[in-house]
Amino acid sequence: MNTSPVFRSRSAADNFAVLARWLLGAVFIYLGMNKALHPVEFLKLMRQYDLVQNFLLLNSIAAVLPWFEIFCGLLLLAGVAVRGTAVLLIAMLVPFTVVVSRRALAIQSAQAIPFCAVKFDCGCGNGEVFICRKLLENSLLILFSIWLLAGYGRKLCLRHTLKSCAVTTRPTDAGETNGTI
């Protein structure tokens, strides 16, 4: 058994990445289920952001987004397409964080209160939260996603990427090819 400091630090990083992957998956399953079980409340909260004017598109987003979050969480827990799922989570988290911070700035200026004192239900599924806590939470989720995107978290995966390994062929003595990986 290799007990060199480099091996131990790499093993510790891998173990932490697995825990981060599982935590990220569990968080998205929980938040997605919370939205899926309360679709009317989620739709009302989405309306407050005034991002989409078409009611059909808004209803479609409100109906699909919670299940998409649950699906991404399940993929992370199982360890399937981890890097691709991390890209999707970053693509959801970054714009959401920007929109939430813009809304918090609007509330702050309207009520003339300190930024970290702003508290509202952002639609994430946790109810009313203080904005500084929410921005910190989202930043950590984004960092975990970036870390998984970098290739960590392969341990205990069913399949880390959807891309299969390339198969190379070598000629044998008789001139036939023998497929090897």
Distance CA 68, CA 52 (A): 19
Between 82-111 and 39-49, two packed helices, what is the crossing angle to 10 degrees? 60
Output the pLDDT for position 154: 67
Tell me what pLDDT residue 180 has.
Answer: 45
Locus of tokens 């093993």 = 11
Residue 124's pLDDT is what?
A: 82
- Predicted pLDDT of residue 4: 59
Residue-level pLDDT at 181: 44
Q: What is the pTM of this model?
A: 0.77
Confidence (pLDDT) at 7: 53
Are 100 and 135 contacting, i.e. CB atoms less than 8 angstroms apart? Answer: yes
Mean pLDDT score of the chain: 83
**Residue 32: how many CB atoms within 10 A of its CB?**
21
Rounded distance between C-alpha atoms, residue 40 and residue 46, angstroms: 10
pLDDT above 50: residue 143: yes
* pLDDT at 92 exceeding the cut of 70: yes
Three-class SS of 28-54: HHHHHHHHHHCHHHHHHHHHHHCCCCC
How many domains does one find in the chain? 1
Domain that holds residue 125: 5-180
The answer to whether the CB of 81 falls within 8 A of the CB of 75 is yes
Q: Looking at residue 6, what is its pLDDT?
A: 53
Looking at residue 31, its pLDDT comes to 93
